[in-house]
Amino acid sequence: MQDQPQDEFSFKGVAPDDRQDEAGSESLADQAASQASPSAHQHAMPHPAAPLPAGPLPGAPANQAPPEKVVHVDLASVMAVVGEAAASMAQELPAPVAAMPAASTSSAMAYSAPSSGPDLPATSGIPDAPALEGAEAPASVGTSSEGSASPEVKRARVTLEVQGDDPSLGKTVNPRHLVQGWLAEMVKSKASDLILRSGGRPSKRQDGKISFLPGRVPGPGPMMEVLRGILGEKRMEQFEETGAADAALDLDGLGRFRINAYKQMGEPAIVIRRINENAPSLDELHLPSDALKDLALRKRGLVLVTGVAGSGKSTTLSAMIEFMNRNVERHIVTLEDPVELMFKERYCVISQREVGTDTTSFKQGIKHALRQSPDVIFIGEMRDAETVLAALEAIETGHLVMSTMHTVNAAQTVDRILGFFPAERHVQIRQRMADTLAGVLSMRLVPRIGGGQVPAFELMQVTPQVRELLEEGKTTELGRVIQGGMEKGIVSFNDRLFELVQTGFVDIEDAVQSSDRPDELIMMVRGIQGGQRAAAKAQKQGQIDSVDSTGTPMRRRTDMEETQSTQEGGSPSQGASGGSNLRLRGNSDY
């Protein structure tokens, strides 16, 4: 059987001279007629077809094959026969077609029977269907106008076509090959995600934008077969019970992928994310690398990387683990669902455990990890109060714990952790967080001028002021402290976005859309731009010597000011204010 388009499925019973040798071996139709069961006779078509006349049609040239005679019949009347035929042919048809669900009764079926070929007993042309002999042809079945039909009729070539746009039929015999083709396109275009929904259009996410791929996703039946091969028996049970499951997939020549299978409208769908083969370097991620290296080298504490899905959390933590792997000797235990990047050990021993395969839950994994002589415990995600408590206990026993959360900024991260617990426990949890929290890095990706994306981030390392706010329960003031950005180790989103705009990485409109405080960002940009224009004009008129990197005017000093500055121990090269100019956090510190 050949591949057919999604809206057309053909089954053909071919004459013996097409499939068998000349030794007179029994044809498929003969076998079907001889093996037909009594139940099959009971489900025959309501109007048995009359024998087909031999020879060419009247008026047709002798050397020309007669035209096909097509009769449309209602599918409901022959579904029983087709069902038995499909069951008997299951061993011969490819798996996706054999497992194909029954078509709806609204589909149309075309029966075409050219009147040529060797003499055979009359048959419906469907395997396991009974032979129909001597029956009067219904009015809807065309016959030759030359008298009655001969007792011996010509074997008919039968074509059953299911017409319509039923997505469950799929477009390919092997849906796995189709999925692999889309994965290859995904890798080639460097897309981050592939989205496949049963019967829908395949799509990919590239640079944060959705675009569609050619073709059509197979229907629910073939998609379930694909999922069974990927998820395995245990995770497939989880998928059927809960409607979602996670897994990882390795494909030779394509790489490693993380897969989330879910149900939508009762039908299976999957989102496939590409995983880098090698962990990146912190220095190439456009992040505060010095601060992240300091956090990675801590002996104890809680390090959280937060952001929406696809913002780079896993990539950042993988880079931090790889930094440790290249610089210090440690035992790192990872708890992931599923395991994503496979690390190559250098100076560190890295034990990678998968939730659902190697341990039942994050909580159990952390509990047993404490007995595995770890220095660092990486938790794939902080999802509930039990995981948070287990992580705090691990930190308080002298370990570094790293994890992720789906929050948009540092202040919200603290509130989310407190929200896992009842109000009467907030004081206790805040105190423990003040003692254990090392830093929070929140990330979001912003479109980059010229294509691609660049990370904007907010960094909150726990300074004395931050610790005091946590202890006193003034978590609502964390945002104000971060926005001020006056302490080392603290960078606000607006500071980072402003830097990206000033350095030409990001357009101002994209920066404003990504900001939590867009009005303040606009004022920052307008203030600097206005100051630069005024300074350039003043410099042209000779009123100032130059401007610094932020556009702040550096006025020419008088001789009295120079003498006074020298006597006070200042540098003659300082500006009129006698102090250093404002520098954005993140320009050179990170």
Task: List, for residues 157-197, the tens digit of each pLDDT value.
Answer: 333 333 334 444 444 458 888 898 999 999 999 999 999 99
The residue to which tokens 């497939």 are assigned: 236
| Alpha carbon distance 342, 336 (integer Å) | 11
pLDDT tens-digit map of 292-347: 999 999 999 999 999 998 899 999 999 999 999 999 999 999 999 989 899 999 99
pLDDT at residue 483, as a whole number: 87
Residues carrying CATH 3.40.50.300, the chain: 282-492
pLDDT top residue among 526 and 73:
526
Tokens of 430: 């805040």
Give, in degrees to the nearest 5, the angle at Cα 491 between 490 and 493: 145
* pLDDT score recorded for residue 535: 52
- Cβ neighbors of 471 (< 8 A, separation 6 or more) are 430, 431, 434
The answer to whether 43 and 203 have CB atoms below 8 angstroms apart is no
Q: Considering only 98-107, 227-236, 381-390, 476-485, which range has the smallest mean pLDDT?
A: 98-107
Q: Where are the beta strands (DSSP E) in 314-416?
A: 331-336, 349-354, 376-379, 400-405
Fold designation for 282-492 = Rossmann fold (3.40.50)
Rounded to an integer, what distance in angstroms lies between the CA atom of residue 86 and that of residue 384? Answer: 50
Q: What is the mean pLDDT of residues 360-386?
A: 94
| CATH domain 175-275 topology | Beta-Lactamase (3.30.450)
Task: Spell 248-277 as b/e; 16+ CB within 10 A means b.
Answer: bbeeeeeebbbbbbeeeeebbbbbbbbbee
Kindly report the backbone phi and psi dihedral angles of residue 146, in degrees, each rounded to the nearest multiple of 5, phi listed first: -95, 85
Within 129-266, strands assigned E span 153-154, 158-163, 193-197, 203-206, 209-212, 244-251, 255-264
Contact indicator for 459, 430 with CB cutoff of 8 Å: no
- The SS3 call for residue 481 is helix
Phi, psi of 476 (to 5 degrees): -70, -15
Task: Check residue 259 and give its pLDDT.
Answer: 93
Which contacts qualify for 451-456: CB closer than 8 Å, 24 or more apart?
451/207, 452/207, 453/207, 453/208, 454/286, 454/500, 454/505, 454/506, 455/285, 455/286, 455/287, 455/311, 455/312, 456/493, 456/496, 456/497, 456/500, 456/506, 456/511, 456/514
Res 566 pLDDT > 70: no
Percentage of residues in the chain having pLDDT higher than 70: 60
Q: What is the pLDDT of residue 281?
A: 93
Provide mean pLDDT across the span 58-65: 51
Residue range(s) in the chain whose domain bears CATH number 3.30.450.90: 175-275
